[in-house]
Structure 1
Amino acid sequence: MFKSIIVVLLLLLLYTATVLSQAPRLLSHNGFLADNVGQPINGKVGMVFNLYTTSVGGVSLWSQSFTDPADSVVVSNGVYNVTLDLSTAPSLTYNTQYYLEISVNGETITPRLKLTSAPYSLGPWNTSSNKVYYTGGYVGIGTNNPTNNLVISEDANSFIGLTISNTNTGASSAEEISFANEDGSQAFIRIYDNDNATYPGRMLISNNRTGGSIHFGTAGINSRMVIANDGNVGIGTTSPIAPLHITPNSSSYAFRIDQGVNGHGILSYVNTTSSAQTVLAAASNVSGGFYVKGDGNVGIGTSSPYTKLTLTDAIGFTNSTNPMVYIYQSGTSNAERPVIAHSPSFPTWGLSYQDVGDKMMFQAGGNPVMAVNLGSSQVELFKADGTKTIELDPEEGTGRGADISLWNDAGVNTIQIDADYANTGVGRIVTDVLQIQGGSDLSEHFEVNNSGLEVQPVPGMVVCIDSKEPGKLIVSNKSYDPRVAGVISGAGGITTGMLMGQAGSIADGHYPIALTGRVYCLADASSSPIEPGDLLTSSDIPGHAMKAHDYTKAQGAIIGKAMSSLKEGRGLVLILVNLQ
């Protein structure tokens, strides 16, 4: 018979992996064996271990044998050591009392050994206390009815939570909650301590699984924001195709910034040296849109702007009270600027450019077509090849009037219109040929008296020099009158071609008197019919001409030659005025 003195039972929990994971079910057991006279045993013995829930009787819940010669237990001076593998009894929950029965070489040692303390660490959380409960494989903290692997509950008007504390101040210190699946890939939440040399104070949320992504959701499992495994972030989409991809599912704004302080709205830098790269684009299903390119060119309605601002359609301004466009150079006074305006508050503006040292140029194909000299208000017009052909100067010189110059194709000034010639206040036109298309006679202004006759001067009447009032004329009323001076222009629908006179002087008047050229003249054919080529002189009929019969009397009294006929009576005859 053996006498077994159990010196040490238990003592070894090999390791605990992560929080709430199952510890390895290995129990290190030490004992002392002596014979029936108390002498320590030496050599190999066969041993069998059984586990019960009762101190005597009952059914063995687990058994392990060391009876084969190859694995029998070595006893030295009575001391032996074995490792019991309880993993072959996975149904053991360790939330009840267990007893270990030992047999040596077929002899059962009594009483059974009651397991206490350390062996129960093989089943962490299998016991309950006033705060921790284990039931049905679930752990509850603050609740005795957990519905998941770990439930933390507290009925308190205060903060409750889960704390992971690392008091180490080393350069690699951090805290982590990990999530591992069957293939070992992990997702985790990790917080590096401020003492961490590589990532001080960093919080890292990571999903290391193949194709893993991080989703943020509301209203159940609806994803509101996604961080894909390639780093793209999606808001409103679970398949982002850009570093930030926003897909709103409503009619509200997709992106909005409300700057609450006196700061900036959007700042965007793109690392590119290509002018073709798009820095900013805003477009819809409607053609066009707004684009900012890498070289700073902006396109509205086009994605390929070729200037700092390129528009493919019209531009409109609706400001009703202020100027609509100001353009001024950086550093230049606001007073020197072009302003485009059309509003009730600025009815006389339109286009204003106040820098007197510049020209406002209008060009076509790189050549000027019109230029406005802002200092002198001079306007220049050019041909398509850039040759100047017209110049309008509202002030030819200080205190002087306007001047208009016209050049031919060879650049020769062929027409000069001067409103204040030589600063005399006299207007002058200089040209090679003067062609008048509005009339066919050369007339001067005269005052015409009726000389007591009961007739008023009308176009077509023959007039004579008034011997009583120098510089004035009277309606003719005497045949062969050597004072005959011409015909009042304007009869028969033929108007004056050129009209001369000096305003405010004796050489002025109200009636245009044809001195040469073609006019219709009142004539009397009572004494003789008038035929083309006949010389005409004054008659006794007031204002009427007649055919000259007496060439001696007609000397100095000829008005001109008839160009049409008058067979009889009185009427209009076209004559060529040629005083003789």
Structure 2
Amino acid sequence: MRTILWCLGLCGLLVSAWTQGVTQSFTYQGYLRQGGAPLNNPSQSMRFRIFDVSAGGTALWDSGTLNVNVSNGLFTVQLNPPASIWTGADCYLEIQVGATTLTPRVLIRATPYANTATQLNMFQSGIDNPNRMVITHSPPFTDWGLQYRDTDDSFHFLGAGASRMRIGLSDGRLGVGVAAPTYALDVSGDVRWSGVLQGGSVPWARITGAPSFLGGSGTANRIARFTAANTLGDSVITQSGSNIGINNASPITPLSFPSTLGNKISLWGSNASAHYGFGIQSNLLQIYADQSASDIAFGYGSSDSFTETMRVRGNGRVGIGTNAPTARLHLEFNSNSTANATLRLHETQADFARLEFTNTNTARKWHIAGLIGSTLADDRLNFWNSTAGDIMSIRGDGTVAVKVLEITGADLAEKFPATEALEPGMVVEIDPKVPGHLRKAQGAYNKRVAGVVAGANGLSKGIVLGNLEGSCDHIPIAMSGRVWVYADATHEAIEQGDLLTTSDLPGHAMKASDPSRAHGTVIGKAMTSLEKGKTGMVLVLVNLQ
């Protein structure tokens, strides 16, 4: 087995709680590779020996075979040699993985008295010892790190051998960029701070190397600013209690501006005539974006996590529930119950709430007005014209009153349940097996004929009756008016004006040529013709007889 060991950690002594000494246990960490890949073995056989020479010699201590967990090449093991092997001299750790002994041995450098002391001593005795590095970056960079200087009892943080910061233990002075500070805080270079430097007032401050003092005078409650080099004076900012004024000597709110017209706050943009902000004009508060393609949105959350509820586009469109309004006012809302209206008009008196429509053509106007009365029958939804008055009124009980009713559809139909699938244009009859239900008409001169399924050939229905609860899937059957009907002219042509009855072809109509059988079976009168020998569609004026 070819195995490569990389040492990732140092041997760490485990210090006991008693001052009499320390335990001799230490932890060793390493990294194993086998065949170029990290080794993985939850129970890897390993053995550790300590020697006083780098090669050969007799082991001072042998751990015996240990089962070590190796995960992704990494392992950690606690070793427990006797105290007698630590003499202050360097030792070497030999590692055996399985049957393979790794070379070279790992050097364990001596640290005098480390295994019998409860603290780390820089020196053993005396004063004015030479400077000593406590922490170094690495062997190639021994002049980078933390150094202790015994001559003046100070710690120095070194960079390239130069003292970058000094802390004096005896004089209590801190030097930044100064190796021998003469003040409690001695800094060489620029200084920046945030927060209060000193509570109360500072009449003046001296800057080392400056030709004069930094000082000045100003108005009470004004925030100071540099009015010239080394000179302080008033700024445009005033503080009065907890209120701040900008060009306002007597702020009345936490942030106050002067009572002048124009731009007040710029939130974004460098162009005074095109930016995001707030302004004031005569009797007008302005909120604006920089151009017509920019929008203003209202919502909640934060800029990075924003839930939008309303948007005002630069082109004047307003969207509530949508960020892309396609009209001057565009509302979007999932109104899934009568308690959640998309738009609500509330009249504060016992009167109509009105929605008004006007334009520039005339002074006339339309109102859609709703009234909640004292009873359901008193409720009204009126369509009102300023010249013609009420045109249509819908009562709360469902009654509709209208002066003139014009319907663009072509027939009068009523919804019926069916016992089989029906298509527009089919002739239907009362199902003899299921009273009240309809099916395709079967047989010539059928007295159970009930009408024609409305809506064939795109001819829309005029009035549909029977829109009762549960009737949404019922079929509209034309009982009067014009509809297209499936017709059978196999035996006799159909001419305009012919009476039509049921055919032997299910769901079809044919010419009623036998007057003795026609009574009670006539569907209506043909308005178009169909050649003999063909089947097709015929327009019929429904009039059951």
TM-score (norm 2): 0.40
**What is the TM-score when the length of structure 1 is the normalising length?**
0.38
